[in-house]
A and B are shown apart, each in its own frame.
Chain A
Amino acid sequence: MSLDPSFVWEALLKLLEALPTTLAITAVSVGCGFLAGTAIALVRVWRVPVLHRLASAWVTVIRGTPMLVHLLVIYAGLTLIVDTVTGRLGLGWNSARIPMIGFAYLSFSVTASAYCSEVIRSGLLAVDRGQREAALSLGMTTMQTLRRIIFPQALAASVPNLTNFVIGMLHGSTLAFVVSVVDINAKAEIVASTNWKFFEAYLAAAILFWGMTILLERAGGAIERRISRYRKGGVA
């Protein structure tokens, strides 16, 4: 068994079939994580009674355990709960009817919510207090202040961290094989074991991920430059 460069290309083409799955998992987890993360960050920044303690406990627990564990706990826990409930009520269906990718979506969104909330929170804290005070004294409502004044500045400040976060979720999506979802990583394993060419198949997967990461980094850099154009100090 020796290195077969042409098979790397062949494997790459086969892996492209699984690309939409990887992208879907990443997009869903980043999207849901962003929404939930924003809510968590706001609750913590505003120190909403009771809720902000729950939110910070949530972030500590999620960030203190590996992404793999979230997936395992949610998969085992959810199937157990669903099967118990449907069994008691006699609904006549069970957790096997839930598509496997649903567990990946849910679990990675949970992971993303905690990490994203930290990114957004640091962005929110980076916005000068005076900005909010000025907006409120101009008569804006809280929602207007958030939407027009705080969020644009907070998000601009967190672009580099958000880029890292998205890349992290993209790389994390490889864990989907644990719940038998065929993403790029799982496809690489299939291609590798059916052709007995492990190195070539994983090399192709690595190239694919490397390419996507570089694209994301470039995109993040471009957004950052675009935003910082009007963020310079001085008067001119």
Chain B
Amino acid sequence: MGLPFDIAYVFTFIPKLASTLLLTLGIVAGSLGSGLLFGLIAALPRLYRIPVLEQIAVAYASFFRGTPILIQLFLIYYGLPELLKMVHIDITRLPVLVFVILTYGLHTGAFVSETIRGAILAVDRGQVEAAYALGMTGPQAFLRVAAPQALAIAVPVLANQTLALLKETSLAFTLGVMELSGKAQSLARITQHFLEAYLALALIYLAVAFVLEKLLLALERRLLRHERPEETAGRFRLLKGLTLRRPASEMRGGAPS
């Protein structure tokens, strides 16, 4: 299959693929934004133990963490219009990108909800009790006392989840979205230089992941500048165990994407 290997094609493919980079990054940004929102919404009923909503949130997180993203893409793309048709809402005309971002958003939201929950639970109970004793209301105690401390635990995990999301968006081509990997496959087929196209694709992903990781690390340092140094060193120290922060940091460790 294909034509003989010619390294020059790798370099001609890179700029061609780079033109679709914005779409990939757009999917990542859109899914991350909606994922954070879904995640927060799903985490709150479990943290405040609101009956019924809590069970729904548990089922949501379990389902979207328990099924492959590829299946979820098809399920939402084919299923959601049918479900909404029953209540006479027609969404079959919506662009496919909406379904893609919604699916990745729901998928990310499930992981984010576990991260937020783990991070908040890792904050010492006495902190919130002290806040209540000082006369703070529920939302005040959450926003001023629990959330800032939880952030220190959640941010490194969320950064990892963002990197995982970048790689998972490579599956959006299955619904016909021409992002990086979709474009690479069509370039490969047109030119019959398969290996060159996929190597170019790998190089772009590697570069993007590298830059994104550096940016997230900088963001992490900025967000956590008020934390004491031994706490910000988190990510590596966490693995040694013996700390309450372990559960949150371990979430999603080791899962390929």
* A115 lies within 8 A of B250 (CB): no
Within 8 A of B (CB), among A97-155: 111-112, 115-116, 118-119, 122, 125-126
Query: Contacting A119 at CB < 8 Å: which of B5, B72, B78, B254?
Result: B254
* A73 lies within 8 A of B199 (CB): yes
A64→B69 CA distance, assembly (Å): 18
B253 close to A (CB within 8 Å) = yes
Q: Which residue of A lies closest to B246 (CB)?
A: A160
Main secondary structure of the interface of B (DSSP, over half): helix
Note all chain A residues with C-beta closer than 8 A to B69.
171
Note all chain B residues with C-beta closer than 8 A to A157.
241
Query: Contacting A69 at CB < 8 Å: which of B4, B194, B202, B254?
Result: B202
A125→B241 CA distance, assembly (Å): 10
Within 8 A of B (CB), among A139-188: 157-158, 160-162, 164-165, 167-172, 174-175, 185, 188
A235 close to B (CB within 8 Å) = no
A99→B24 CA distance, assembly (Å): 33
Q: Smallest Cβ distance from B201 to chain A, in angstroms? A: 6
A55 close to B (CB within 8 Å) = no
A147→B256 CA distance, assembly (Å): 27
Within 8 A of A (CB), among B163-204: 167-168, 170-171, 181, 184-185, 188, 194-195, 198-199, 201-202
A115→B209 CA distance, assembly (Å): 16
A193→B67 CA distance, assembly (Å): 21
For A190-219 the 0/1 string (1 means CB < 8 A from B) is 001000001100110110011001100100
List 14 other contacts, CB 8 Å, given A69-B202, A165-B256, A168-B257: A2-B85, A61-B206, A72-B181, A72-B185, A119-B254, A164-B254, A168-B256, A172-B68, A174-B70, A188-B71, A188-B74, A199-B83, A202-B71, A210-B62
A23 close to B (CB within 8 Å) = no
Q: What residues make up the interface of B, taking CB atoms closer than 8 Å to A?
A: 1-2, 4-5, 62-63, 65-72, 74-75, 78-79, 82-83, 85-86, 167-168, 170-171, 181, 184-185, 188, 194-195, 198-199, 201-202, 205-206, 209-210, 239-241, 250-257
A199→B209 CA distance, assembly (Å): 34
Q: List 11 A-B contacts (CB under 8 A).
A: A64-B210, A79-B1, A115-B255, A119-B253, A122-B253, A164-B251, A174-B70, A175-B70, A192-B78, A198-B79, A214-B66
